[in-house]
């Protein structure tokens, strides 16, 4: 199967997570993704661990493995004449270039936007930064946790306002990668009409602010500053995590009909003046949680989940990741990919969230490529570009 993006060539100059996640997504969709890495160590995330897997001397970081499948790895020093020539040839043949340097770095390497489009007017350039490519703080380095704090996400997350808490995954990086892909696909669609590429820009700051959703509007429209409420919804009640006799469950009572059914199941008077409407339930949330948990603690979580399902109340477990990946529903969605890594051997990776038509696997490929060892495809790509092998580095040991 060719894939929806078959024939699209992506040059991936990124490292860490935001850019690599975007490149991996494009690869999942069938694009040819050529990842250019520095010869000394490659992508920063190759060294991020433990955990590492593989034999000593040929170990791979699980962090790197998580976001670099369906790519080819080419090594080049972009400050050298040979590296600049390789990048020039790649740009001439590419459809997309991904970069997450600080603003101005690519230009100082000799590849400002004007030069890139001189080499290839059809090129779509996706530039990812920490805080935007301009503005008074556009030159700041971007790391996910810093951006989660600066962009307000940590102030909304955690048990209470005194304990700002990061999300358990680098969500700013992942959202930035996703937004990059959205912009790239839109630019490729425009190019199909105009024949010209353009620059797509996104950042950790914009990606996190872009998912503030109703919390953002609480401030911009209503003038309220949201704060962390732990595991309960600020505008809907009951909606959150509740404790049973053995383990917690999550329950979402999203409308008045569900409230009446839920109240009847737990033996709560649905027209109690404290709880009769959602507004009253939010106002008296702490009292409501106490009443609910008093009832729920009378039985175990599995028994309550069965009753809630039978009554039509949305509810669920709080699973650990080993449980998630062993769950048949996860497997049924093609969310685990088996690949054969040439130094590590067979590995299982979290899969793509996208499925098309009736495919039983995630992404848009019937065969996924393992994350590449550093420089694995240098010789093949240089031959494809018509470049001779570089002269040996006299300083190399």
pLDDT for position 56: 87
Whether 1 has a pLDDT exceeding 60, the answer reads no
Domain ranges of the chain: 9-211+332-385, 239-243+248-317
Q: Per-residue pLDDT tens for 292-346?
A: 999 999 999 999 999 999 999 999 999 999 999 999 999 999 899 999 999 999 9
Average pLDDT, the chain: 94
Catalytic residue, candidates 12, 28, 144, 173: 173
Q: Per-residue pLDDT tens for 154-170?
A: 999 999 999 999 999 99
Among the residue ranges 172-181, 253-262, 289-298, 329-338, the one predicted with the least confidence is 329-338
Local confidence band at 388 (pLDDT 50, 70, 90 cut-offs): confident
pLDDT for position 389: 80
Whether 391 has a pLDDT exceeding 80, the answer reads no
Whether 393 has a pLDDT exceeding 80, the answer reads no
28 is annotated as an active-site residue: no
Local confidence band at 397 (pLDDT 50, 70, 90 cut-offs): very low
SS3 sequence, the chain?
CCCCCCCCEEEECCCCCHHHHHHHHHHHCCCEEEEEECCCCCCHHHHCCCCEECCCCCCEEHHHHHCCCCCEEEECCCCCHHHHHHHHHHHHHCCEEEECCCCCHHHHCCCCHHHHHHHCCCCEEEEEECCCCCCCCCCCCCCHHHHHHHCCCHHHCCCCCCCCCCCCCCHHHHHHHHHHHHHHHHHHHHHHHHCCCCEEEEEHHHHHHCCCHHHHHHHHCCCCCCCCCCCECCCCCCEEEEECCCCEEEEECCCHHHHHHHHHHHCCCCCCCCCCCHHHHHHCHHHHHHHHHHHHCCCCHHHHHHHHHHHCCCEECCCCHHHHHHCHHHHHCCCEEEEEECCCEEEEEECCCCCCCCCCCCCCCCCCCCCCCCCCCHHHHHHHHCCCCCCCCCCCC
Q: Per-residue pLDDT tens for 207-248?
A: 999 999 999 999 999 999 999 999 999 999 999 999 999 999
Q: Per-residue pLDDT tens for 93-133?
A: 999 999 999 999 999 999 999 999 999 999 999 999 999 99
Put simply, whether the predicted model's pTM sits higher than 0.75 gets the answer yes
Domain with residues 239-243+248-317, CATH architecture: 2-Layer Sandwich (3.30)
pLDDT for position 55: 87
Domain with residues 9-211+332-385, CATH architecture: 3-Layer(aba) Sandwich (3.40)
pLDDT for position 395: 52
pLDDT for position 365: 75
């Amino acid at each position: 199967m060719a894939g929806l993006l078959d024939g699209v060539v992506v040059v991936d100059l990124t490292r860490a997570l935001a850019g690599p996640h975007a490149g991996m997504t494009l690869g999942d969709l069938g694009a040819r993704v050529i990842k250019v890495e520095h010869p000394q160590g490659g992508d920063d995330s190759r060294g991020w661990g433990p955990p590492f897997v593989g034999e000593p001397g040929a170990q791979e970081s699980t962090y790197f493995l998580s976001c670099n499948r369906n790519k080819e790895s080419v090594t080049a020093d972009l400050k050298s004449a040979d590296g600049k020539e390789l990048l020039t040839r790649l740009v001439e043949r590419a459809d997309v270039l991904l970069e997450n340097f600080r603003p101005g770095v690519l230009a100082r390497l000799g590849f400002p936007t004007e030069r890139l489009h001189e080499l290839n007017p059809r090129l779509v350039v996706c530039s990812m930064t920490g805080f935007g490519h301009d503005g008074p703080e556009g030159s700041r380095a971007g790391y996910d946790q810093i951006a989660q704090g600066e962009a307000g996400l940590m102030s909304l997350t955690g048990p209470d306002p005194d304990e700002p808490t990061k999300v358990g995954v680098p969500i700013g990086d992942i959202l930035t990668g996703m937004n990059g892909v959205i912009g790239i696909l839109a630019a490729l669609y425009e190019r199909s009409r105009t024949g010209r590429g353009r620059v797509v820009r996104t950042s950790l700051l914009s990606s996190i602010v872009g998912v503030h959703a109703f919390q953002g509007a609480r401030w911009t429209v209503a003038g309220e500053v949201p704060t962390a409420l732990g595991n309960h919804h600020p505008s809907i009640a009951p909606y959150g995590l509740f404790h049973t006799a053995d383990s917690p469950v999550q329950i979402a009572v999203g409308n008045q009909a569900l409230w009446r059914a839920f109240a009847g199941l737990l033996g709560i008077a649905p027209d109690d003046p404290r709880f009769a409407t959602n507004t009253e339930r939010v106002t008296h949330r702490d009292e409501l949680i106490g009443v609910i948990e008093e009832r729920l603690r009378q039985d175990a979580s599995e028994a309550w989940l069965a009753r809630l399902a039978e009554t039509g109340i949305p509810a669920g477990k709080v699973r650990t990741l080993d449980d998630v990946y062993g769950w048949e529903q996860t497997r049924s969605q093609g969310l685990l990919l088996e690949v054969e890594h040439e130094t590590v051997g067979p590995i299982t990776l979290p899969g793509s969230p996208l499925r098309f038509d009736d495919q039983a696997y995630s992404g848009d490929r019937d065969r996924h490529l393992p994350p590449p060892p550093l420089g694995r495809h240098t010789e093949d790509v240089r031959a494809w570009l018509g470049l001779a092998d570089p002269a040996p580095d006299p300083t190399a040991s």
